Amino acid sequence: MLAVVLRGSEIGLADGRRCWLGTLDEVATSTERLVLWSAAVTRLLPLRPRQVWDLAAVHKVLYGGRRDDPAAVWAAVHDRPAPARSDDFALLDSTLAAVEPYTTPVRSDGSLHPDAWRFAAVEELAALALEVQAQQQAALLELPDPRPVPTGPHLRLVTAWAESAAALLCTELEADGLPFDRAAGTDLVGRLIQADDRATRDAPVLALFRTDDVDLRNPASVREALLRRGIEVPDTRSWRLEAFRTAHPVVDALLAWRKAERVATTYGYDWIAAHVGADDRLRGEWSAADGGAGRMTASAGLHSLPAELRSVIAAEPGHVLVRADLGQVEPRVLAAVSGDRGFAQAAAQDDLYTPVAAMLGVDRPTAKVAVLAAMYGQTSGAAGQALKQMEQTYPTALAFLRAAEEAGRVGTDVRTHGGRLVPVGSGGVGRFARNAVVQGAAAELFKAWAAAVRNGLGRGRIVLCLHDELLLHVPVEESEDAVRLLRSALESTAAHWASGSGVRFVVDVAVVQRWSEAKG
């Protein structure tokens, strides 16, 4: 493995035997896997490394938490508390400088200086990166492999590579962006917002309220105004107002206004101006493992783009979009990671809910509710009865979920199938932990799949990751290769990730011009 550190035009390299000042060409032509303090530095590289070990990404898998700067990463593998964060003002503090001259990155107390990357020799930082990688790898191997029948490298090492690949992919997603049909986008936004200025948009609703004395953007004001029209609601959320559509014409108008206002404020002209570049690419910031369970996140609203707007994501000339959705991924993941043989048998089918329904003796919709209720910790309503049957039919899966919930309730951290530590904290909400072991494991499977797809793609690019969906932008002549790759990558990923479980993972793939186009 080759550790790489970049600082300006300096490139520090280390291969375990020696460390030296290197050239970009050495990195580009190296056939070794690269170790990086953070894959984010690849933004500075005019190349796309095939495989990296991202120390920050692996650190978050092993130890959780939000900090992933080198000093914190270093501290964790040395089983010590993270030092105070880098502080530009502290650097100017003469007393601190007098105590700790900036000569070596590792201080006398064994900690890595928070500002080491500023002053230390880059080749030395590369050597340290290699050390940390070895320690992380050892720590990962200490976690037991959860698979009943390991068929390849230790699963937690697979996770390390996949999470690193996801971090690398994030830098590419940020750089590439989504192909955006600007003309269609501007046109569609114009139609959806009804009117360009607020007053004109508000007018029809205010007319039906028969007053100007209501602020449509103030929920309290709207609630009062509705009360004056004889509609009493605890809050004005649209699902609650839905029942009053026929009670008064203003409700219908208000709900339509809400949709228009939503587009105007969040996905309007300002949004296009802010996030679509001169090259007609829609860009956001990406994070490879955010939040409690380690899902990918994206800014610029990329993960919550309303369905009615998705037609504006369109392939460029000579290209197609290839969209691929994993089917019923969370229950399949539950079947795999819990080791429930019966549930895995259901998860061996194309449609998981049909055999579950047969086993429970209920119809398919009820079976679906029961499975989702089990995974998400729902206890009320119709789910309650179905849950009891789930307990009897799939005791192993349900015990797995209950154990996670109990751990969360008493504040014990849990680990996902891939080895990610999910800190529960003192807040200890049981449902959170119950869901995290499923959602988090699904995120790991997804990232492993995405990593395999990324490495197999030719000139195509992954342009969107959406929890269980990949969107590729590929030259027309490579579309069939891409479709085959999406399927084969899932098969090879599932083969080791869920080996011996009997669970099948399925994917819907469609070649389209626009993201909105139907699957199949």
Partner DNA sequence: GATTTCACGTA
Partner DNA sequence: CGTACGTGAAATCC
**Mutual angle of helices 364-376 and 329-338, in 10-degree steps:** 60
2 versus 288: smaller Cβ distance to DNA: 288
182 versus 431: smaller Cβ distance to DNA: 431
CB 190 to DNA: min, Å: 17
33 versus 467: smaller Cβ distance to DNA: 467
Would you count residue 223 as binding DNA (CB under 7 A)?
Answer: yes
Residues 6+ apart with CB under 8 A from 20: 12, 13, 14, 123
CB 103 to DNA: min, Å: 36
Would you count residue 426 as binding DNA (CB under 7 A)?
Answer: no
275 versus 454: smaller Cβ distance to DNA: 275
Question: How buried is residue 39: exposed, middle or buried, by Cβ count under 10 Å (0-12/13-18/19+)?
Answer: buried
**Going along 89-169, which residue ranges are E strands?**
none
Size of the site for DNA (CB under 7 A): 56
Site for DNA in 323-382 (CB under 7 A): 372-373, 376-381
Question: How buried is residue 272: exposed, middle or buried, by Cβ count under 10 Å (0-12/13-18/19+)?
Answer: middle
3-state DSSP helix/strand/coil % of the chain, to nearest 5: 50, 15, 35
**Neighbouring C-beta atoms of residue 211, cutoff 10 Å:** 11
Would you count residue 215 as binding DNA (CB under 7 A)?
Answer: yes
- Contact segment (CB under 7 A) with DNA among 20-28, 32-40, 265-273, 313-321 equals 265-273
Single residue of 113, 283, 295, 420 touching DNA by CB under 7 A: 295
Question: How buried is residue 349: exposed, middle or buried, by Cβ count under 10 Å (0-12/13-18/19+)?
Answer: middle
Q: How far apart are CA 489 and CA 346, in angstroms?
A: 23
CB 133 to DNA: min, Å: 28
Would you count residue 514 as binding DNA (CB under 7 A)?
Answer: no
What is the DSSP secondary-structure string of 140-156? Answer: HHHSPP--SS--SS-HH
CB 284 to DNA: min, Å: 6
Site for DNA in 94-113 (CB under 7 A): none
CB 287 to DNA: min, Å: 6
Q: How far apart are CA 49 and CA 30, in angstroms?
A: 10
CB 219 to DNA: min, Å: 3
Single residue of 110, 152, 219, 249 touching DNA by CB under 7 A: 219
Count the alpha carbons within 13 Å of 82 in the hemisphere toward its beta carbon. Answer: 17
The two structure tokens encoding residue 136: 């992380």
Single residue of 174, 469, 491, 517 touching DNA by CB under 7 A: 469
Count the alpha carbons within 13 Å of 217 in the hemisphere toward its beta carbon. Answer: 9
CB 469 to DNA: min, Å: 6
CB 4 within 8 A of CB 21: no
Site for DNA in 230-259 (CB under 7 A): 235-239, 258-259
43 versus 237: smaller Cβ distance to DNA: 237
184 versus 260: smaller Cβ distance to DNA: 260
149 versus 273: smaller Cβ distance to DNA: 273
Q: How far apart are CA 438 and CA 419, in angstroms?
A: 12
4 versus 282: smaller Cβ distance to DNA: 282
7 versus 467: smaller Cβ distance to DNA: 467
Amino acid of residue 337: V
Question: How buried is residue 154: exposed, middle or buried, by Cβ count under 10 Å (0-12/13-18/19+)?
Answer: middle
CB 156 to DNA: min, Å: 23
Residues 6+ apart with CB under 8 A from 399: 338
Single residue of 94, 95, 108, 304 touching DNA by CB under 7 A: 304
Q: How far apart are CA 141 and CA 146, in angstroms?
A: 11
Q: How far apart are CA 105 and CA 114, in angstroms?
A: 9
CB 214 to DNA: min, Å: 11
CB 477 to DNA: min, Å: 29
- Contact segment (CB under 7 A) with DNA among 115-123, 205-213, 217-225, 314-322 equals 217-225
Would you count residue 200 as binding DNA (CB under 7 A)?
Answer: no
Gyration radius (Cα) of the chain, Å: 26
CB 118 to DNA: min, Å: 25
If DSSP codes are grouped into helix, strand and coil, which group holds residue 452?
helix
Single residue of 230, 307, 318, 350 touching DNA by CB under 7 A: 307
50 versus 217: smaller Cβ distance to DNA: 217
5 versus 264: smaller Cβ distance to DNA: 264
Q: How far apart are CA 477 and CA 318, in angstroms?
A: 8
Residue span 135-154 as binding mask against DNA, x where in contact by CB under 7 A, dash where not: --------------------
Among 178, 182, 199, CA closest to 269: 182
Single residue of 96, 141, 220, 243 touching DNA by CB under 7 A: 220
CB 402 to DNA: min, Å: 15
Q: How far apart are CA 125 and CA 14, in angstroms?
A: 9
The two structure tokens encoding residue 105: 């990155």
- Contact segment (CB under 7 A) with DNA among 244-252, 305-313, 346-354, 478-486 equals 305-313
Give the residues lining the site for DNA (CB under 7 A).
215, 217-223, 235-239, 258-259, 262, 265-266, 270-271, 284, 287, 290-293, 295, 297-301, 303-307, 372-373, 376-381, 383, 429, 431-432, 435-436, 439, 466-469
